[in-house]
Structure 1
Amino acid sequence: MNYQETLHYLFTKLPMFSRIGAAAFKKDLTNTIRLCNALGDPQNKFKSIHIAGTNGKGSTSHMLAAVLQEAGYKTGLYTSPHLKDFRERIKINGVMCDEDFVVDFTERIQPLINEIEPSFFEITVAMAFDYFAKHEVDVAVIEVGLGGRFDSTNIITPELSVITNIGWDHMNLLGDTLAKIAFEKAGIIKKNIPVVIGEAIAETRPVFDSAAIDSPIVYAEDHLYVTDWTLQNHLLTVEVAEKKTGTHHSYQLDLPGIYQTKNLLTVLQAAHQLHMMGWRTGTETVRKALPHVKRLTGLHGRWEVIHEHPVVVLDVGHNIDGMTQINKQIELSTYHRLHIVIGMVKDKEIDPVLGLLPKHATYYFTQAQIPRALGAEDLLAAANKHGLKGNTFKNVNAALQDALSHAHKEDMILVCGSVFLVGEVTIL
């Protein structure tokens, strides 16, 4: 098989959550263990940092990877899903894995695929671990795909575990209370391995404390808080104070979403914990890395401005908490008229998310080209109940083209609602 044939095989042969949803999620690590055993257990051949959470785990993973790269470590980064290129999932120092490796790996593991019928995600996790081991990375930042306890990534024993926050997402798989969701995320906590919690509430903190009974646990919000922030030229400057000493530090991020202030505290506390363990992740290294996260790691889709006059923004926020943060960012933005291109998937909390969106915007309802996508007409019908008005379009690029044709130079166009929708934007 060549590379394109290999991708076709991976996308169509294997159960893929982004395509079919819950049917592809297995509450069992057996297949991942079998795959990695066959590969010589590559997950044990490099050091790792494990990151879970409802929102912010992607941004946090990329920021922490940037810090480690800035410190001089050969740094692997495994994230999901991808936006444009499958190989975005597996990077070393910001460079995507080789096409030849994807082909070779798939051919090597194909007999076992036929035998155990793993999911797409189980294969990609094993692929990432094999790639990082073969290239002898110093450390790999591993982002959880879904949940934590039964996520395929959860066969590693990391240097540090990180849980960004707990919110409402994937309740059909993780539970119908925040405590139940927290329990699943807390499944990445390992005995005697430190864990950093970004945000916790009264309902989730006891869950984390219980899960970390044999592990050092640190809550970032108990040690740090944001005193101020400014946004200028798509750069976010954040003033952070230490609660114990009152010491202030200023950090500049090339990720302009205001919600990154929360992720920043998680990253700072994680870097501090690593520094105390002997890693070169002190304050100055962090300060040098954060203005260059996109360049160092290739992160996209987090309040990403891809066009000026009119401003066109891409954001992968799609659940209740993510859309709440997007709405706050909209309120802080300056524009003449607001245009929102939106598409969602069927298994999300559609009504609560739509209820958060501004009624004064003009909407362009569309859908990603995947089976899980909610049809544009169905989305329009649901949106109308919340007073959101607009037209439907067959795909995101047709919707965005129409928005551009109606927007003035001082307007803002936002594309959001689904990672897959954002990934299909090609016209700019």
Structure 2
Amino acid sequence: MTTPATLPEWLALLEARHAETVINMGLDRVRAVKERLQLAFTCPVIMVAGTNGKGSTCAMLESVLLRAGYRAGLYIKPHFLDFNERARVNGELASDAMLVDAFDAVEAVRGDTSLTYFEFTTLAILHLLSKANLDVAILEVGLGGRLDAVNVVDADVSIVTSVDIDHVDYLGGTREQIGFEKAGIFRPGKAAICSDPVPPQSLVDHANAIGADLWLMGRDFNYSGDKQQWNYGGRSMRRNALAYPSLRGANQLLNASAALAALEVLRIELPVGAQDVRTGLVTVELPGRFQVLPGRPTVILDVAHNPHAAAALNQNLGNMGYHPYTFAVFGSMHDKDIDGVIKAIGGSIDHWCLATLPSPRAASGSELAAKVQATVPDPHEKTVNIFDTPAQAFANAMSRAGENDRIVVFGSFLTVAGVMAARKSTLH
């Protein structure tokens, strides 16, 4: 069989191959193909897992390390508009040609080993980064940790950001079960950083059982600050008078502290100056994480899709100052704790524009409407409307919102991606 010649053809083939099994737990198949690829990193590897905050932590690490002059590679997911967003080399998106070469390399050694879309693309991007002559590789873990395809690589520093309830069908329904899964990225004798202020005991126990070098928030590193600036304190390093990260939101100092703890661990291999840290944190960008768009009405994009993230989004909305009305454009996967998300943010929303997402796993707009009406206090004082797509829901919110109002687009990545794509097409 001839392999596809373009990136869109490759992605279509991978989606078609695995229309049925979206997630297939276990690393044996991935490890077998990894060995045939002879995939290995010759630079330090930082791996980041967590329920929320992992994308922000990866982005901060990348920004600071690029400022310091290092050639950094980043694997981050999912993507909003272009698959290329998942792989960055030295701050630039991987080209179609680089990705096609990487897909070809995996296909050439795969043999009859079956790989899911996620496993195949992960191996391809890891291969691409391993060949990119990097000084450091930053790898975001997808679901869980222990059984995630990224975990076939041994990290020099592993970070677990927050541990909360999500992906219950695969990871279990308690923080202790999920904490054990996340701790699966820790390695014996290597730094294992956890920035969750209340880490599950299962995570601590696993780190100790395997002999990882566990760094806990509040014990091994912490932060302090006032309105103007903040300070990081680690085991042997302090960084004072830091500007707040440009990523807005309540938990960003936890994420920034985890990033600085990782840099403290790697200070011999990757020394980073104070100014590089300051500038890197101030200039970091990450789409869809409490991203406030320019213009009026105020539009906020946030991929909050579990109660923990929705509570943080609600807190951030509360810190924004007065807006007469808040419109929500919301869509969610069926298997999420939708009631918990609505409960966490419902008090801040006046008008709901609910969208059915383009996925077989999506909850329908009418399902979401029933949940909003059952969960939100005083539903008769709020409006609830249903739309076939996020773009239609957003267009409706824009047509009704006054210039001093705000529209918060949140839920699944597909909700935010749908609105991003619609805005892009109207701008061009």
TM-score by length of 2: 0.89
How much does 1:219 deviate? 1.2
Distance of 2:308 and 2:229 partners within structure 1? 21
**Alignment root-mean-square deviation, CA:** 2.1
Q: Is the 8 A contact 2:37 2:105 kept in 1?
A: no
What does residue 271 of structure 1 align with? 263
How much does 1:282 deviate? 4.2
Q: Is the 8 A contact 1:220 1:269 kept in 2?
A: no
Q: Is the 8 A contact 1:272 1:282 kept in 2?
A: no
SS in 2 for 1:124: helix
Q: Which 4+ stretches in 1 moved above 4 angstroms?
A: 111-114, 243-248
What does residue 189 of structure 1 align with? 186
Amino acid corresponding to residue 196 of structure 1 in structure 2: I
Equivalent positions of 1:226-237 (< 5 A) are: 226-229=224-227
How much does 1:105 deviate? 3.0
CA shift digits 1:2-36 (9 cap, x unpaired): 23212211223235xxxx7xx42232111211222
Q: Which runs of 5+ in 2 are unaligned?
A: 424-428
Q: Given the alignment, which residue of 114, 117, 121 partners 2:114?
A: 117
Q: Given the alignment, which residue of 324, 331, 338 partners 1:350?
A: 338
Distance of 1:315 and 1:265 partners within structure 2? 22
Distance of 1:248 and 1:108 partners within structure 2? 46
Q: Is the 8 A contact 1:376 1:392 kept in 2?
A: yes
Amino acid corresponding to residue 99 of structure 2 in structure 1: V
Count of residues paired in the alignment: 408
SS in 2 for 1:12: helix
How much does 1:133 deviate? 2.0
Percent of pairs with identical residues: 29
What does residue 422 of structure 2 align with? 427
Q: Is the 8 A contact 2:73 2:87 kept in 1?
A: yes
SS in 1 for 2:284: helix
What does residue 285 of structure 1 align with? 276
What does residue 12 of structure 1 align with? 16
CA shift digits 1:353-382 (9 cap, x unpaired): 111123452110002211111111111111
How much does 1:170 deviate? 0.9
Distance of 1:427 and 1:252 partners within structure 2? 31
SS in 1 for 2:218: helix
Q: Given the alignment, which residue of 241, 261, 280 partners 2:253?
A: 261
Distance of 2:312 and 2:216 partners within structure 1? 21
Q: Which moved more, 1:364-373 or 1:262-271?
A: 262-271
Equivalent positions of 1:79-90 (< 5 A) are: 79-90=76-87
How much does 1:263 deviate? 1.2
How much does 1:164 deviate? 0.6
Gap change, CA 1:63 and 1:326, over 3 Å in 2: same
Amino acid corresponding to residue 307 of structure 2 in structure 1: I
Distance of 1:14 and 1:138 partners within structure 2? 34
Equivalent positions of 1:59-70 (< 5 A) are: 59-70=56-67
Distance of 1:114 and 1:392 partners within structure 2? 47
Distance of 1:265 and 1:75 partners within structure 2? 19
Q: Which moved more, 1:114-123 or 1:374-383?
A: 114-123
Distance of 2:332 and 2:59 partners within structure 1? 24
CA shift digits 1:338-361 (9 cap, x unpaired): 011000001111111111123452
1:304 aligns with 2:283: no
How much does 1:247 deviate? 7.8
How much does 1:302 deviate? 0.8
SS in 2 for 1:364: strand
How much does 1:273 deviate? 2.0
SS in 2 for 1:358: helix
What does residue 29 of structure 1 align with? 27
Amino acid corresponding to residue 315 of structure 1 in structure 2: D
Distance of 2:239 and 2:103 partners within structure 1? 51
Q: Given the alignment, which residue of 373, 393, 409 partners 1:415?
A: 409
Distance of 1:7 and 1:97 partners within structure 2? 15
TM-score by length of 1: 0.89
Distance of 1:399 and 1:263 partners within structure 2? 32
Gap change, CA 1:283 and 1:171, over 3 Å in 2: farther
Amino acid corresponding to residue 270 of structure 2 in structure 1: W
What does residue 426 of structure 2 align with? none
Gap change, CA 1:178 and 1:126, over 3 Å in 2: same
What does residue 379 of structure 1 align with? 368
Gap change, CA 1:79 and 1:406, over 3 Å in 2: same
What does residue 397 of structure 1 align with? 391
SS in 2 for 1:370: coil
Amino acid corresponding to residue 169 of structure 2 in structure 1: N
CA shift digits 1:87-142 (9 cap, x unpaired): 11111122111212222333343365571220111111111111112221111100
Q: Which runs of 5+ in 1 are unaligned?
A: 230-236
What does residue 324 of structure 2 align with? 336
Amino acid corresponding to residue 177 of structure 1 in structure 2: T
Distance of 2:239 and 2:139 partners within structure 1? 31
CA shift digits 1:140-195 (9 cap, x unpaired): 10010111111111111222111111111111111121111000000011011111
Q: Is the 8 A contact 1:239 1:250 kept in 2?
A: yes
CA shift digits 1:382-401 (9 cap, x unpaired): 11101354100111111111
Distance of 1:221 and 1:419 partners within structure 2? 32
Gap change, CA 1:205 and 1:97, over 3 Å in 2: same
SS in 2 for 1:255: coil
Q: Is the 8 A contact 1:75 1:140 kept in 2?
A: yes
